[in-house]
Structure 1
Amino acid sequence: MSGHAALVGGEAVSAGRVDALLAAVPARDRVVRTEALARAERQRRRWATQIVVADELARRACAERGLAPPVEVSPARVLAVSGTEVADLGSIVAVALAHSPAARALLAALEAEQQVPERAVRDYYDRNRDRFLTREALRLGVDPYGDVGPADVLPYPEVRDEVARELRRGVARQAFFDWLDRARAGVEYAAGHEHPGDPSHPDHEHRH
């Protein structure tokens, strides 16, 4: 395909950027019927367009925030994405963060802005003692939901910073999701590049 894949703020996002990403993330090897393969490729292009658009939006957000322009990364160097990240973030956001230095820079900035109340950190620790059992308690098979003694659990001061970082990361990810939803609301997509879950095309699928 040639031309543009989408219009962001009235400016064209080249379909060539989508093609480059598709080349860097080859389709899974599988034997399917011809019509199913054609549908899968259409959906893959729509999926890749979302990632390229997220990158473009993140570049603009970084510029607006005065963040240092991220180093350009070739699509051929898309970072590996784990199944856990896909499960936590959805494939579009997970791959966008792997593909786009600007998206990672924006997420880092959002994380740095988050303030997690001390009460929330302590509450998480108190409610999730199973995550903070000592090695000895784990070795002995202590039931974290049963009679757990103070010596069976890592002290709060020892894990407090780790818990705070985890909570801050979670809040930042939600802020990133919210930002992306707002930012792409005004994006106009060229035919064949719509969101894969857009019900206006017949073979849509609600999967991220």
Structure 2
Amino acid sequence: MREEYAARVRGEAIPKQHVETFLSTVAPRGAGNCATSHDAAAQARRHRQQRRWATQVIVTDELARHACAERGLAPPDDVLPMHLLTIPETDVADLGSIIAAALAHSPAARALLADLEREQHIPETAVRDYYDRNRDRFLAPDALRRGVDPFNTVEPSDIHPYEHVRDGIAQQLRHAAARRAFFDWLDRAKADVVYAEGHEHPGDPSQPDHEHRH
């Protein structure tokens, strides 16, 4: 008999219907759109990949809930919402569509990411090094209009002083470090997840129609 679950997370079953309901209300990002009504096989492949994508988003939410409980974080107010939220294109590009969607739809995933960000310590040397290597990002508006080259001789007023931008740089680096920590956590957390046939990761190389993009 075919399994009625899409995946098992720590022994707990995620019903297939949960995935189909989520998929019916949320448009997967990055999914192909070349299938037409005249190509049933292409439509079936596309829906299979969308189903795998949706399974990954839901699994990530479930794993994040366990992680929040283990960390003593306040439980999210609601279950993974079954409605469409806007996912910034920059997040899809930076994180991949699965994690970007999970963070958009899962309060638990966002709570975990915020907790990871609080754990990140950015050395002062790293902050200063970022400032020195990216001086073009800290040009004053007038210097930008004049086309000043920040890596040659500049006037002190051409570049925002380190003391004025230091906190913003540290926050940016902390945010990036937290995202890397989230990726590492998710890779470890997914190790014991069991997937039903047809719900494997869309990038699983053991599947004949796997896709590398997430």
Query: Can you list the C-alpha shifts for 1:69-126, whole angstroms capped at 9, x where unaligned?
Result: 0111563334211211111001111001001000000000000011100110011011
Q: Tell me if structure 1 keeps the 8 A contact 2:3–2:196.
A: no
Deviations 1:116-139 (A, max 9, x none): 001100110111001100011112
Deviates more, 1:168-177 or 1:66-75: 66-75
Rounded Cα–Cα distance in structure 2 between residues aligned with 1:182 and 1:149: 49
CA distance in structure 1 between the aligned counterparts of 2:147 and 2:176, rounded to whole angstroms? 30
- Which residue is 1:90 aligned to? 96
5+ residue gaps, structure 1: none
Which residue of structure 2 aligns with residue 6 of structure 1? 7
Q: Equivalents in 1 of 2:203, 2:120: separation in Å?
A: 31
State the alpha-carbon separation in 1 of the partners of residues 189 and 24 from structure 2: 26
- Report if aligned partners of 2:35, 2:46 keep a CA contact under 8 Å in 1: no
Matched residue count:
208
- Separation of aligned partners in 2, 1:81 and 1:118: 33
**Mapping for residues 20-169 of structure 1, pairs under 5 Å:** 20-26=21-27, 32=36, 33-73=39-79, 75-169=81-175
Q: Distance in 1 between matches of 2:154 and 2:25?
A: 50
Identity within the alignment, %: 62
- Supply the distance in 2 between the matched residues of 1:44 and 1:149 (Cα, whole angstroms): 54
RMSD of equivalent CA atoms: 1.8
Measured after TM superposition, the shift of residue 205 of structure 1 is: 1.1
So what's the TM-score if we normalise by structure 1?
0.94
